[in-house]
Amino acid sequence: MARKQKEELVDDRSKGLLQNKSFWVRTLSGIVMTAVLITVFVLGGYVMWAFLLALSLVGEFEFNRALKLHWGVFAWVGYIATVAYYVLLVVLGGSIEYTLLIFAILLVLDLAVFVITFPRYTLEQTFAGFFNVFYVGVALSFLYIVRIHPPSGAYLVWLVIICSWGCDIFAYLVGMLFGKHPFVPKLSPKKSIEGAIGGIIGSVAIGVAYGFVVQKYIPDVKLAPLIFGIICIFGAAASQVGDLAASAIKRKVGIKDYGKLIPGHGGVLDRFDSVIMVAPIIFLITIYMNIVN
């Protein structure tokens, strides 16, 4: 009996060490990732463009792999379309006015592959090949588009991080402390309505505080704390949709993580699932509110 208890104690200690190791790996990789993002966001320009292009291609590869398409024709058509789209962004100075041509060509090529190889690929795979370019590549590109847009892009781009990762942190803390009512129990049992609300309120609070800090650097944005607070309401809500949508896709295809690129966090899509939804929303809101030109 004593021997069994001793073995159980050793097992518990081993599990504790493993958990601590996992925690420190996740923490360290999180610090490195944050440092890289800060550097990229501050430098902007071609550095940010190249970083987001690489991130998009890796993310698209992860998505295609989840659907068992990563070495297929649809995948390569998507990768080429993504590179062409990013090149056009640079040529047009961040404008997306003429990029519709690329998407039209992409649609024709995907349907052509579906027809020529019929019945090798399913409709779902065909649609996924087209959808992936928008879901990952185009969505992430809005970080670059917001960043380079005058006159306040260098400050507005940080709202994407505030709305996505800020919301995630506050939703977790509030849900852990006060969560009682499941939000989407069949998809993510641990997420609560209280956590979802807390995530939005937390993001708004950070956004308002950030507005006060940078107001003097963006005189063209009147009442920045109020404007940023409003933006964060929609951004934080979109963030949670992005997080849950990524989880739903993983559940459907039967995987735990999209990849292992970021130790302790998973793949690009595991870490940037909410950013993918927030970046286009932030851009569109700032356009409609005449904050960027």
In tens, the pLDDT along 97-145 reads 777 888 889 999 999 999 998 988 888 889 998 999 999 999 999 999 9
Position 87 pLDDT exceeds 50? yes
**Using 50, 70 and 90 to split pLDDT, how confident is the model at 231?**
very high
Angstrom distance (rounded) from CA 71 to CA 211: 45
Whether 197 contacts 183, CB under 8 Å: no
Write out the DSSP string of 43-85. H-HHHHHHHHHHHHHHHHHHHHHHTT-TTSHHHHHHHHHHHHH
Nearest CA to 48 among 148, 115, 189? 148
What's the predicted TM-score (pTM) here? 0.87
Per-residue b or e along 23-32, where b marks 16 or more CB atoms closer than 10 Å to that residue's CB: eeeeeebbee
pLDDT of 184 reads: 87
**Using 50, 70 and 90 to split pLDDT, how confident is the model at 6?**
very low
Mean pLDDT of 9-19: 49
SS3 116: helix
Angstrom distance (rounded) from CA 252 to CA 231: 32
Angstrom distance (rounded) from CA 53 to CA 120: 30
pLDDT of 19 reads: 55
Angstrom distance (rounded) from CA 54 to CA 136: 11
Mean pLDDT of 64-84: 89
Cα 215 from chain centroid (whole Å): 27
Nearest CA to 42 among 154, 187, 195? 154
Strand (E) or helix (H) holding 192: strand 188-192
Position 70 pLDDT exceeds 50? yes
pLDDT of 292 reads: 65
**Using 50, 70 and 90 to split pLDDT, how confident is the model at 17?**
very low
**Using 50, 70 and 90 to split pLDDT, how confident is the model at 10?**
very low
**Using 50, 70 and 90 to split pLDDT, how confident is the model at 206?**
very high
CA-to-CA separations, 95 to 46, 84, 144, in angstroms, rounded = 15, 14, 11
